[in-house]
């Protein structure tokens, strides 16, 4: 019989229970025991839900209080000395490594955080050094397996595989000559030890995720896969069934290393890469192995076409004469990237809701496909309703706007090119702004206080009038402007008190978007987002941000930046359509933003920032034509949005938490860019931008951490940057927006940052 599997389930809770408990613990309002109890309750809910639906392979160890990769770092004692020296308990060590910790007896920054492949999830990068004592340092996977077992639920524990764990890590700043993959021999016995303990606890199956198999791997990494799974397979078979799992792309270039491994089965993502099917089935004998078919999308919210998916799996069985017992129907990846339950949505148009499927519904889809393949007629009504939904979406007039399509078709090179090159623009801009050396600014948002959230909620519910809400927003903008003037920032922002989210705020004002009430997805730690959903062609009916920007500029003589979210970020941080290509969606967004940029300029806003933090996230995972094509159309979309202004208007952009290529940023032709830098400890990173022609600000403090950097720390960091980067082109700014911080931290951090900039102005003045 065909079986069903889920690779991972959201851990946040249907009502964000984990966020509330975790942040309560950080604030001292929730005890450790209370936080642990919430985690236990959420795990139990998730397991029981999947059991009740009928999933055969239910995951465990997919829960985390912060990040699953960080959990593994603690499990294997990959803990830099700067954390272990404080003798914190495991939970506080986890949080210190993930977000930093500063209190009377502890002062430590967070580890580097980067995007998980091409998703908007952020993981904490494992950081290795020569002196680390790698050992088993806990029992989380075993504890959670036993927890489920006590409930009468047999789970399949999930671990990030050894090669991915090492490949996705980096050497610490004191061990830069260390290649993490060289540590494989030290970690294989640790994996064996953990899995042996799981076997002793009663586990019969284990899921080892090796998502790096969809990347361009060098021979050393390929050899490591062969070595790792020969070691684990021979050491642990037949005591446990190892399922080697990949997702987010094709494994075809690395298929040679998978052919003869002693594992029970393989999982592949056929949502992202259905074209890999024949190559896989010709390379691996699935009469001997189990094939897990990732056919229900773990990354998007569109309802699965059940008939099409069932036919796809049946064709595999028929064409290759495979036994049904060797087939597993599964989610393409963990469902971590999707909201928890569509039944929590009560205000969306019911016709549109019928097109969607969240994590809970995706579990139902997986099981329904498996049952249909097994000839179970109980799912016939489900398939009929599904076909009706798929057909309704395909034929809906909501998805098509002829005027938008014609406008996209008319885009040409002229539309995407500034009137003059940067070397000419910068001369004009210097005369207009007359900024000092080391100009200071922030990225955009200021703290979203409880008062702001309360008033926004009142406005949404209609308990205050639009006029009352506008008066409140103006008072918040003035507060932010006066604070920035007081501490001496040079280029100001209005603070964004009116904005709920940097994509949602604009999406709510564009035609073609839909929005959820409870469609929360974890981005990192306790930071959850509600990605908007692109349901049709996109356009801007009226100005979206001009009113607030104009008001902010009217109450100060200093320049105030207009703040917009760029087309690639609006696309990547939404759930995109799956019925047209992403380039078309990006260009539709770029035209809507072009209209907004030109309206801001016409209203007297002289500096406009169009943020693209998701630019690198969208880069295809493998080098080649697809990647170069993406960079071409992504840069084109940004330039279409920004190139319609005069030379005197300064265009800024911002990027964060990614490994960036200066050539990609150069292609945007922004006048000034700001880049997350505070967690970077590679001395070569600054050098990569040495020849970047335009102006740049490397972020000087981590806005995801409550820790406050001192003036001396800022000075030391800038000193290091100036060893490589020219002072005349360097801006001083934080890593990212400040909406998640409180005012106390914000005031101290920005004051210290501005004081450091003043220090360098004096220093360079004296040199002159």
431 belongs to an annotated ligand binding site? no
137 belongs to an annotated ligand binding site? no
526 near 19, Cβ under 8 Å?
yes
- Say how far apart CA 510 and CA 464 lie, in whole Å: 24
* Residues in Cβ contact with 434 at an 8 Å cutoff, skipping those fewer than 6 apart: none
* DSSP state letters, 511-541: EEEE--SS--EEEETTEEE---EEEEEEE-S
268 near 276, Cβ under 8 Å?
yes
Is 704 one of the catalytic residues?
A: yes
6 near 58, Cβ under 8 Å?
yes
E strand segments, 299-428: 327-331
Rounded to 5 degrees, what angle do the CA atoms 13, 15, 16 make?
Answer: 60
- Say how far apart CA 211 and CA 217 lie, in whole Å: 11
343 near 330, Cβ under 8 Å?
no
Helices 359-373 & 32-53 angle (0-180, nearest 10): 30
- C-alpha distance from residue 404 to each of 400, 409, 504, 579, 592 (Å): 8, 9, 21, 16, 10
Compute φ and ψ for 297, nearest 5 degrees: -65, 120
Compute φ and ψ for 227, nearest 5 degrees: -65, -45
- C-alpha distance from residue 70 to each of 75, 203, 451 (Å): 9, 23, 34
- Say how far apart CA 760 and CA 195 lie, in whole Å: 55
315 near 277, Cβ under 8 Å?
no
464 belongs to an annotated ligand binding site? no
E strand segments, 215-300: 241-245, 265-269, 290-296
Q: Token pair for residue 282?
A: 């010709």
Upper half-sphere CA count for residue 480 (Cβ side, 13 Å): 32
266 near 291, Cβ under 8 Å?
yes
> Across the strands, what pairs with 58?
155
Q: Is 492 exposed, middle or buried (0-12, 13-18, 19+ CB in 10 A)?
A: buried
Query: At 294, which helix (H) or strand (E)?
Result: strand 290-296
Q: Is the peptide bond before 238 cis (omega within 30 degrees of 0)?
A: yes
94 near 88, Cβ under 8 Å?
no
657 near 122, Cβ under 8 Å?
yes
95 near 26, Cβ under 8 Å?
yes
* Residues in Cβ contact with 760 at an 8 Å cutoff, skipping those fewer than 6 apart: 437, 438, 715, 718, 722, 727
Rounded to 5 degrees, what angle do the CA atoms 432, 434, 436 make?
Answer: 155
> Across the strands, what pairs with 170?
127
570 belongs to an annotated ligand binding site? no
- Say how far apart CA 115 and CA 122 lie, in whole Å: 4
Phi-psi region of 613 (alpha: psi -120 to 50; beta: other; left: phi over 0): alpha
Pairing of strands 205-209, 533-539: unpaired
- Say how far apart CA 532 and CA 570 lie, in whole Å: 9
Upper half-sphere CA count for residue 32 (Cβ side, 13 Å): 5
Q: Which of 509, 511, 565, 501 shows the shortest CA–CA distance to 531? A: 501
- Say how far apart CA 616 and CA 676 lie, in whole Å: 12
207 near 157, Cβ under 8 Å?
yes
611 belongs to an annotated ligand binding site? yes
Q: Of 267, 337, 652, 704, which one is the catalytic site residue? A: 704
Q: Which of 409, 442, 354 shows the shortest CA–CA distance to 741? A: 442
Q: Token pair for residue 94?
A: 């986890």
Binding site for L-methionine: what residues are annotated? Answer: 443-445, 496, 611
Q: Which residues are annotated as a binding site for L-homocysteine?
A: 443-445, 611
Annotated binding site: 19, 120, 443-445, 496, 573, 611, 654, 656, 676, 736
Annotated binding site for 5-methyltetrahydropteroyltri-L-glutamate: 19, 120, 573
| Active site residues per annotation | 704
Residues making up the annotated binding site for Zn(2+) are 654, 656, 676, 736
């Amino acid at each position: 019989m065909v079986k069903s599997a889920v690779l991972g389930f959201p851990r946040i809770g249907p009502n964000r229970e984990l966020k509330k408990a975790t942040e309560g613990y950080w604030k001292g309002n929730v005890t450790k025991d209370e936080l642990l109890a919430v985690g236990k309750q959420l795990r139990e809910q998730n397991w029981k839900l999947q059991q009740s639906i009928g999933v055969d392979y239910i995951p465990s160890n997919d829960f985390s209080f912060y990040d699953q990769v960080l959990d593994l770092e603690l499990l294997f004692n990959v803990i830099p000395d700067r954390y272990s020296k404080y003798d914190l308990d495991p939970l506080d060590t986890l949080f210190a490594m993930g977000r930093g910790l500063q209190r009377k007896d502890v002062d430590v920054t967070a580890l580097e955080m980067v995007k998980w492949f091409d998703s908007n999830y952020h993981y904490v990068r494992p950081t290795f050094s020569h002196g680390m004592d790698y050992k088993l340092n806990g029992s989380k996977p075993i504890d959670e397996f036993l927890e489920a077992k006590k409930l009468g639920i047999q789970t399949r524990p999930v671990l990030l595989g050894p090669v991915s764990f090492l490949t996705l890590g980096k050497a610490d700043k004191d061990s830069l000559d260390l290649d993490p993959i060289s540590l494989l021999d030290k970690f294989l016995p640790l994996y064996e030890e953990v899995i042996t303990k799981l076997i002793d606890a009663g586990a019969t199956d284990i899921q080892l995720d090796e998502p790096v198999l969809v990347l361009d791997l060098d021979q050393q990494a390929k050899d490591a896969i062969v070595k790792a799974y020969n070691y684990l397979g021979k050491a642990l078979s037949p005591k446990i069934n190892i399922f080697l799992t990949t997702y987010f792309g094709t494994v075809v270039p690395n298929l040679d290393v998978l052919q003869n491994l002693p594992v029970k089965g393989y999982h592949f993502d056929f949502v992202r890469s259905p074209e890999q099917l024949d190559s896989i089935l010709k390379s691996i004998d699935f009469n001997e192995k189990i094939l897990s078919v990732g056919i229900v999308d773990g990354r998007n919210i569109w309802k699965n076409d059940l008939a099409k998916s069932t036919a796809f799996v049946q064709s595999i069985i028929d064409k290759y004469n495979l036994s049904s017992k060797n087939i597993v129907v599964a989610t393409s990846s963990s469902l971590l990237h999707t909201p928890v339950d569509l039944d929590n949505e009560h205000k969306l148009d019911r016709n549109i809701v019928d097109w969607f499927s969240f994590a809970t519904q995706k579990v139902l889809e997986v099981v329904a496909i498996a049952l249909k393949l097994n000839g179970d007629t109980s799912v016939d009504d489900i398939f009929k309703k599904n076909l009706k939904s798929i057909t309704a979406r395909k034929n809906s007039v909501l998805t098509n706007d002829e005027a938008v399509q014609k406008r996209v078709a008319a885009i040409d090179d002229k539309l995407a090119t500034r009137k003059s090159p940067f070397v000419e623009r910068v001369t004009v801009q210097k005369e207009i702004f007359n900024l000092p050396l080391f100009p200071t600014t922030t990225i955009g948002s200021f703290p979203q206080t409880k008062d702001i959230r309360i008033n926004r909620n009142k406005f949404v519910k209609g308990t205050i009038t639009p006029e009352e809400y506008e008066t409140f927003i103006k008072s918040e903008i003035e507060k932010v402007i006066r604070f920035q003037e007081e501490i001496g920032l040079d280029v100001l922002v209005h603070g964004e008190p009116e904005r709920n989210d940097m994509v949602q705020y604009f999406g709510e004002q564009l035609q073609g978007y839909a929005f959820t009430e409870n469609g929360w997805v974890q981005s990192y730690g306790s930071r959850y987002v509600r990605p908007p959903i692109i349901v049709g062609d996109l356009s801007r009916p009226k100005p979206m941000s001009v009113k607030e920007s104009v008001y902010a500029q009217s109450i100060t003589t200093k320049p105030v930046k207009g703040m917009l979210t760029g087309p690639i970020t609006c696309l990547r941080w939404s759930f995109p359509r799956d019925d047209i290509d992403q380039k078309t969606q990006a260009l539709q967004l770029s035209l809507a933003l072009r209209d907004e940029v030109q309206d801001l300029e016409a209203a007297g806003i002289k500096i406009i920032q169009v943020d693209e933090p998701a630019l690198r996230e969208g880069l295809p995972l493998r080098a080649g034509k697809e990647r170069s094509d993406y960079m071409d159309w992504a840069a084109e979309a940004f330039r279409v949005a920004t190139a319609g202004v005069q030379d005197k208007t300064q265009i800024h952009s911002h990027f964060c938490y990614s490994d960036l290529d200066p050539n990609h940023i150069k292609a945007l032709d922004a006048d000034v860019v700001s880049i997350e830098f505070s967690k970077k400890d590679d001395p070569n990173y600054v050098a990569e931008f040495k020849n970047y022609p335009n102006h740049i600000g490397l972020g000087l403090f981590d806005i995801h951490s409550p820790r406050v950097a001192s003036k001396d720390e800022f000075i030391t960091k800038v000193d290091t940057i100036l060893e490589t980067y020219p002072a005349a082109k360097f801006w001083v700014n934080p890593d990212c927006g400040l909406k998640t911080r409180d005012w106390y931290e914000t005031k101290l951090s920005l004051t210290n940052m501005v004081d450091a900039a003043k220090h360098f102005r004096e220093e360079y003045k004296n040199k002159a």
